[in-house]
Amino acid sequence: MIPSAMMTGPQKITTPHDMDEAAVVEHMRHLKAEFGKKLVILGHHYQRREIVELADFRGDSLELCRAAANQDDAEIIIFCGVRFMVESARILARPRQRVYHPNARAGCPMADMANAPLVEKAWRDLEQRGLHGSTIPVTYMNSDADLKAFTGRNGGIVCTSSNATKVFEWAFARGERIIFYPDEHLGRNVANSMGIESLIYDPREPLGGLTEDEFRNAKVLLWKGFCHVHTHFTTAHIDEAREKWPDVYVMSHPECTQEVIGASDFAGSTSQMCRKVAEAPAGATFAIGTEINMIHRLAFEHADKNVHTLSRSLCPNMYRVNLYNLYDTVRDLENAPQVILPDDVMRDGKLALDRMLAINL
Ligand code: CIZ
Ligand code: SF4
């Protein structure tokens, strides 16, 4: 599909990948010192350790967007993550700040499972039945900028995995039903935790594959979409972990299935899971169901604790950002992929993001 962001200029300088990593890190540190506060590098929790170590801020997508927008002196923001994160940073950053993505090919297959034309079709199903006025569209942060813009234009809001419950409460204070996209699992897990029934809306089927009555009475319509990195985890992985480490504390990300969430001791966002590990006493044992790079880093940084993965699951798109394309971006900004969004996408996408930010999170 066509990404909503426009990328400018191909990257002209390409560092050979056989160049010594330590040398690239050294060059990067020099360049960062030269730029000073003008340059801010953001590293998502799912990035490789060497990237996170070079970043000025690490965090989840929302924390990083906020960090970027709050840097008075920053002129150049480089977001090491996937496209929807970089687009969100573009929307929330100040107009004079330039936002770059070290690898424009790093997208998110789950975000691609919904797009504005497909969701508009679902919205027409609601309109034809006079239900759109009482429906609040809610989009996960993990979505294209133009889908955030559609959501903003139609009175809707963005959520992340750390604030989805509060966002659902906000939506139910304003409407009778939610249509949530693109991750069925996050939507279902949040609805379950609130004791609200949810139904799958499959965009490939007429009326989402629902009967007329089901569609009209649904409280939460869940877009049929998923993150393969998180649906990889099963309850068998959890059973194995509990057998191997009887004192283990199992944590899973809410993009996992409801069965995995039900069998875990804790479900939470990346930052919430990082905090749990940081606050635990020495000797504590964790088995975590999320992207492997974050788990490896937690194990490395908390060597006095036992941090394991439930099963190895890597996000290949997050992995597309590496030391070499980060270095190429910093040393050749003129030709690096800068994210530029159309004005209406910026304006309406910001509406949906600002509604989320206005909730006291
Ligand atoms: O919002 C984020 O950064 C993602 C993708 C996950 C999380 O749980 O923080
Ligand atoms: Fe997308 Fe899943 Fe990768 Fe996150 S971990 S970027 S949701 S595919």
Residue nearest atom 7 of ligand 2, based on CA coordinates: 227
State whether the Cα torsion 121-124-128-130 is positive or negative: positive
Same domain as 301, residue 215: no
- The pLDDT profile of the chain, 361 residues, written as one tens digit per residue, is 334 455 554 456 677 777 799 999 999 999 999 999 999 999 999 999 999 999 999 999 989 988 888 888 999 999 999 999 999 999 999 999 999 999 999 999 999 999 999 999 999 999 999 999 999 999 999 999 999 999 999 999 999 999 999 999 999 999 999 999 999 999 999 999 999 999 999 999 999 999 999 999 999 999 999 999 999 999 999 999 999 999 999 999 999 999 999 999 999 999 999 999 999 999 999 999 999 999 999 999 999 999 999 999 999 999 999 999 999 999 999 999 899 999 999 999 999 999 999 996 6
- Whether 103 and 115 map to the same domain: the answer is no
In this prediction, residue 12 carries a pLDDT of 60
Q: Is residue 346 part of a domain?
A: no
Q: Which atom of ligand 2 is nearest to the CA of 109?
A: 8
Q: How far is the CA of 20 from the centre of ligand 1 (A)?
A: 31
In a domain, 345, yes or no: no
114 with 223, same domain: the answer is: yes
175 shares a domain with 149: yes
Beta bridge partners of 223: 201
284 is a domain residue: yes
Residues 33 and 97 in one domain: yes
Atom of ligand 2 nearest to the CA of 111: 1
Atom of ligand 1 nearest to the CA of 273: 8
Task: Answer yes or no: do 294 and 279 share one domain.
Answer: yes
- Whether 28 maps to a domain, the answer reads yes
Instruction: Kindly give the distance from the C-alpha atom of residue 81 to the centroid of ligand 2, in angstroms, as a whole number.
Output: 10
Tell if the pTM clears 0.85, that is, is over it. yes
- For 286, the domain range is 233-312
Q: Which residue has the tokens 């304003």?
A: 174
Atom of ligand 1 nearest to the CA of 141: 1
Pocket of ligand 2 (CB under 6 A): 46, 82, 108-110, 142, 227, 229, 291, 315, 317-318
Whether 114 and 96 share a structural domain? no
- Cα–Cα distance for residue pair 162/189, rounded to 1 Å: 12
Residues 97 and 135 in one domain: no
pLDDT of residue 1: 37
Which of 179, 211, 227 is at the close of a domain?
A: 227
Contact assessment for residue 270 and residue 245, using Cβ atoms and an 8 Å cutoff: no
CA 111 – ligand 2 centroid, Å:
8
Other C-beta atoms closer than 10 Å to the C-beta of 240 total: 14
147 part of a folded domain = yes
Q: Do residue 198 and residue 266 come from a single domain?
A: no
CATH number, domain with residue 285? 3.40.50.10800
354, part of any domain = no
Amino acid at the residue 19: M
The CA 161 to ligand 1 mean position distance, Å, reads 6
Contact 191, 168 (CB under 8 A): yes
Please answer whether residues 293 and 318 qualify as being in contact, where contact means their C-beta atoms are separated by less than 8 angstroms.
yes
| Residue to probe by mutation, ligand 1, list 42, 46, 52, 61, most atoms within 8 Å of CB | 61
Q: Are 197 and 219 in contact (CB under 8 A)?
A: yes
How many domains are contained in the chain? 3
Task: Give the Cβ contact number of residue 58 at 10 Å.
Answer: 23
79 vs 87: CA distance, rounded Å: 9
Instruction: Give the per-residue pLDDT at 160.
Output: 97
Q: How far is CA 4 from CA 48, 205, 315, in A?
A: 26, 25, 22
CA 331 / ligand 1 centre spacing (Å): 28
| Shared-domain flag, residues 210 and 249 | no
**In 10 A of CB 34, how many CB atoms?**
10
Residue 358 falls within a domain, yes or no? no
Flag whether 31 is in a domain: yes
**Ligand showing the shortest atom-to-Cα distance for residue 290:** 2
- 254 close to 270: Cβ distance less than 8 angstroms: no
Q: CB neighbours (10 Å) of residue 188?
A: 22
Name 237's Cβ contacts closer than 8 Å, sequence gap at least 6: 260, 287, 289, 310, 311
Q: 206 and 118 share a domain? A: yes
**Residue finishing a domain among 227, 244, 269:** 227
C-alpha of residue 12 to centroid of ligand 2, in Å:
28
For residues 124 and 202, state if they share a domain.
yes
Cα gap 191→164, rounded to integer Å: 10
